[in-house]
């Protein structure tokens, strides 16, 4: 599917995409340019510019209150749900500014799924949790729902554990299984980008390591952007790392190996070595 076709999917009405909005980079799927986000008078993000490559894991790290989650929410416009939130600058998805008036946030979120900190399955069966997105999108009659549910559960490394109990309540699974169920639910509609906001912080180390393995596998198909407080996790699983510091400033963005071996910015060095914060 071309970049332009992808962009058109975001638009609720037939509006021609302006070619000038494309950044021309085939490897960039999400691109921020001078992005600032305010909650009332408080600035949460300050002139953030970054190009996030497709089908890679990009980690976002930084101290509490630095704007990590705000940046994540700005990608799929979840910030729209927060009153007093104001966005300046550009946030492009496949070359289209997602804050343009002609972009439908609901359509956008179909292309950019999200997994949250605590597992939050719907109070439904395992099967219905995974099928939910496809049904809401009205695709249930167009696709082989059983096949798609199986595909998503396999991609989420959960199929072998639940294939004989798909009618069981999703909330009856263990915490780690519930989080993988939420990942299956997020990827069932086949988005391009999966946003994860501290997806393992509520899990034990074994369950967390399964999620980490899964994230690396998911990056073969999807672009994964993960906010994490766990710097070792960022070092283990991500290809790129963005370091935000207090004031909502993106201080450094580079290959993860570079960030953790030889960062450019002294503030990043101080933060990741524990001399700051």
Q: How far is the CB of 57 from another protein (least distance, A)?
A: 18
| Binding window for another protein (CB under 8 A); candidates: 52-60, 96-104, 245-253, 267-275 | 267-275
13 versus 232: smaller Cβ distance to another protein: 232
65 versus 277: smaller Cβ distance to another protein: 277
Length of the chain: 277
61 versus 103: smaller Cβ distance to another protein: 61
Q: How many residues bind another protein (CB under 8 A)?
A: 15
| Binding window for another protein (CB under 8 A); candidates: 48-56, 86-94, 168-176, 268-276 | 268-276
DSSP, residue by residue, the chain: --HHHHHHHTBSS--PPPGGG----TTEEEEEEEEEEEETTEEEEEEEEEEEETTSEEEEE-STTSSHHHHHHHHTTGGGGSTTEEEEEEEEETTEETTSTTB-HHHHHHHEEEE-SS----SSBHHHHHHHHHHHTT-TTTS-HHHHHHHHHHHTT-HHHHTT-TTSBGGGS-HHHHHHHHHHHHHTT--SEEEEESTTTTS-HHHHHHHHHHHHHHTTTSEEEEE-S-HHHHHHH-SEEEEEETTTEEEEEEEHHHHHH--SSHHHHHHHTTS--
Q: How far is the CB of 255 from another protein (least distance, A)?
A: 13
Q: How far is the CB of 236 from another protein (least distance, A)?
A: 10
Q: At how many degrees (to 10) do helices 145-155 and 126-136 cross? A: 110
Q: How far is the CB of 138 from another protein (least distance, A)?
A: 47
Q: Which of 101, 144, 160, 261 binds another protein (CB under 8 A)?
A: 261
Count CA atoms closer than 13 A to 192's CA, side-chain side: 22
65 near another protein (CB under 8 A): no
Q: Which of 95, 113, 248, 263 binds another protein (CB under 8 A)?
A: 263
| Binding window for another protein (CB under 8 A); candidates: 8-16, 53-61, 159-167, 256-264 | 256-264
Q: Indicate left, alpha or beta for 47 from its phi (over 0: left) and psi (-120 to 50: alpha).
A: left
269 near another protein (CB under 8 A): yes
Q: Which of 83, 225, 235, 240 binds another protein (CB under 8 A)?
A: 235
277 near another protein (CB under 8 A): yes
Phi, psi values for residue 30, rounded to 5°: -120, 130
The tokens of 130 are what? 């995974």
Q: How far is the CB of 229 from another protein (least distance, A)?
A: 14
9 versus 267: smaller Cβ distance to another protein: 267
62 versus 170: smaller Cβ distance to another protein: 62
99 versus 260: smaller Cβ distance to another protein: 260
Give residues 174-233 in contact with another protein (rule: CB under 8 A): 231-232
**Contacting positions for another protein (CB under 8 A):** 231-232, 235, 260-263, 268-269, 272-277
């Amino acid at each position: 599917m071309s970049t332009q076709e992808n962009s058109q999917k975001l638009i609720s009405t037939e509006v021609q995409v302006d070619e000038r909005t494309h950044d021309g980079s085939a490897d960039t799927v999400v691109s921020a340019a001078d992005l600032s986000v305010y909650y009332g008078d408080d600035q949460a993000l300050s002139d953030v510019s970054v190009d996030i490559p497709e089908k890679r894991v990009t980690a976002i790290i930084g101290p509490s209150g630095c704007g990590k989650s705000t940046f994540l929410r700005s990608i799929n416009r979840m910030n729209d749900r927060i009153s007093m939130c104001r966005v300046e600058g550009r946030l492009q998805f496949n070359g289209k500014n997602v804050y343009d008036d002609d972009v439908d946030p609901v359509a956008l979120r179909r292309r950019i799924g999200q997994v949250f900190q605590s597992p939050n399955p719907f109070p439904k069966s395992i099967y219905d949790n995974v099928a939910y997105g496809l049904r809401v999108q009205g695709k249930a009659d167009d696709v082989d729902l059983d096949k798609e549910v199986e595909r998503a559960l396999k991609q989420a490394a959960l199929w072998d554990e639940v294939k004989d109990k798909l009618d069981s309540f999703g909330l009856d699974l263990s915490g780690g299984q519930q989080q993988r169920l939420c990942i299956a639910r997020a990827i069932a509609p086949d988005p391009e980008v999966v946003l994860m906001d501290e997806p393992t912080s509520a899990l034990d180390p074994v369950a967390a390591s399964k999620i980490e393995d899964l994230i690396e596998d998911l990056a073969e198909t999807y672009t994964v952007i993960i906010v994490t407080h766990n710097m070792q996790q960022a070092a283990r699983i991500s290809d790129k790392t963005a370091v935000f510091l207090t004031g909502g400033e993106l201080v450094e963005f580079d290959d993860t190996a570079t960030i953790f071996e030889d960062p450019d910015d002294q503030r990043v060095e101080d933060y990741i070595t524990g001399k700051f914060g």
